[in-house]
Structure formats: C-alpha cells, structure tokens
Amino acid sequence: MVSLPGHDLHQLTGAYAADALAGIELAQFEKHLGQCRPCADEVRGLRETAAQLGITTSIVPPPAMRQRVLGAANRTRQLAPPGGRLPEPGTPGRKAWLRRALPRPVSVAAMTAMAAAVAVLAIVLAGTQHRLEQARSANQAVARVLTAPDARIETSGTVVGGTVTAVVSERGHEAAITAAGLPAPPVSRAYELWVISAAGARSAGLMPGASASATPPVLAADIMPGDRLGITIEPAGGSARPTTAPIVVLSVAA
C-alpha cells in the first residue's frame, strides 16, 4: 500500500479505540495522537461508540463483588487530580471542549516533565543527605545524568495512566527514568524497564509503581544511539525478556 505515513497512522484510530494496537505501533500511534487533533477527535468518538458496544454486554455481577469493591474503596486512597484542582460538578463538557485551545496538552506535558525532573532532583538531594552510605553510587550515577551538559528530557504518558520521564545523556550513554502516577501493577506483577535496541530488549530493572508522586529514579546504562526505553508489566520478580506489550516507549535519541 502506497500512502503517506500520516495517512497510514490515521487509519489506526479505529484499532486504537478498540484497544487492538500493541507494542511499538501503539506507542507510535499515541505519540501521533498528541500531534494530530483530528485523530484525537476521531478517537474520542470511536471510543464512545466502542463503549456502547461494551455497555450492551451488561450482565448482573456476582452479588458478593459489591461488598468487596465498596470495602476495598474504603481502604484505598484516591489519586489527586492533575493540576491540583477539581472541576466544578455538573459542568457539561462539550462547550469547554470546543473552547479548549490546542496548546493545552503541550503545556501540560511540559509542566509534567519539569515537575518530574524537579522531583528526580529532590529525591537525589534527599538521598545524598540522608542515605549517603547506601545510596551514594546509584545517586552519583543519577546525578551525573542530570547534570550532564547534554541532558535531555523525554516524557510520555503510559497506556495505563501516569507519566514516565527519562533524563537522557546520550554522550554518557545513560538515562535516569522516573514515573509519576502509575497505577499499582496487577497482583503479583511489576513494572520492568527495558533498553530496546535492534538486537532485542535488555532489562534495566524494576520500576516502583503505585506512586502518585515521582518514583525514585532507575538508571539505565550502556544506551546507544537509536535505542529506546520501554516499560512492560511482568511477573513480580521481573522477566529475562519482555512478555507483554509495553505500556510506554520512549526514544532516547533526539
């Protein structure tokens, strides 16, 4: 099929709305969504449509489920709203949506990246003051990345929510990765970080999840130009190679 890449990506709105994309293609399309207003609008409508398909499958859930869920809610802290403000209840969305200008996602993304970078720094500083003995070498490595003259910030939302931010030093072949607002991984699963190259994926360790604020940074070393960073959901101890589609993929080269 001969067509422009943008046009090709646009054809994926339906598959995306039906959660039928996986892996790199999913990551690519989500990146494209951030830059393609018509795609985002179409996805919104198709998601509403797919949801209608979902709603019609309604069956009575097991009665015991209700008490379990309500009980669990009683013991579960809620996520803070993004930007620290709740919208007024009862305000219908459509007009606000029409009024909303294009720059909003961009500035939110930039602010998230800045906030995450500041949080990484704060954690590094706190670590060097209070846990110097245990944390010195790891934090030195992280500090080295953060202060590298070529340090660059890459940030992206994940499929499961939350944001992952990588501070990358290409010359130092290192990156410090932190996540904010990732949901708790499913029972006996964990988030695992991968350095993805043409040769395959190599584990860079487990990411702590379930934190509304930024997680402590994880360091990925030996990064080569063209590599990407990805996070997958794996069994709690981690896997030798990824066994699920990544929830986020970040490219580390400019």
Return d(Cα 162, Cα 209) in angstroms, integer.
10
Q: Tell me, rounded to whole angstroms, the distance of Cα 46 from its chain centroid.
A: 22
Q: Could you give phi then psi for residue 233, rounded to 5 degrees?
A: -100, 120
Q: Which amino acid makes up residue 197? A: S
Bridge partner list, 202: 195
One of 12, 27, 142, 166 touching another protein (CB under 8 A): 12
Report the nearest approach of another protein to the CB of residue 250 (Å): 20
Our finding on whether 13 is near another protein (CB under 8 A) is: yes
Our finding on whether 243 is near another protein (CB under 8 A) is: yes
Of 43 and 146, which has the nearer Cβ to another protein? Answer: 43
Residue list 52-111, contact with another protein (CB under 8 A): 52-63, 65-66, 68-70, 72-74, 76-82, 86-94, 96-97, 100
Our finding on whether 159 is near another protein (CB under 8 A) is: yes
3-state DSSP call for residue 17?
A: helix
- Strand 174-182 to strand 211-214: parallel, antiparallel, or no bridges (unpaired)? antiparallel
Report the nearest approach of another protein to the CB of residue 40 (Å): 9
Our finding on whether 148 is near another protein (CB under 8 A) is: no
One of 6, 20, 35, 225 touching another protein (CB under 8 A): 20
Return d(Cα 54, Cα 196) in angstroms, integer.
35
Of 127 and 185, which has the nearer Cβ to another protein? Answer: 185
Q: To which residue do tokens 């930007």 refer?
A: 83
Question: What character string, x for contact with another protein (CB under 8 A) and - otherwise, covers 165-204?
Answer: ------------------x--x--x---------------
3-state DSSP call for residue 110?
A: helix
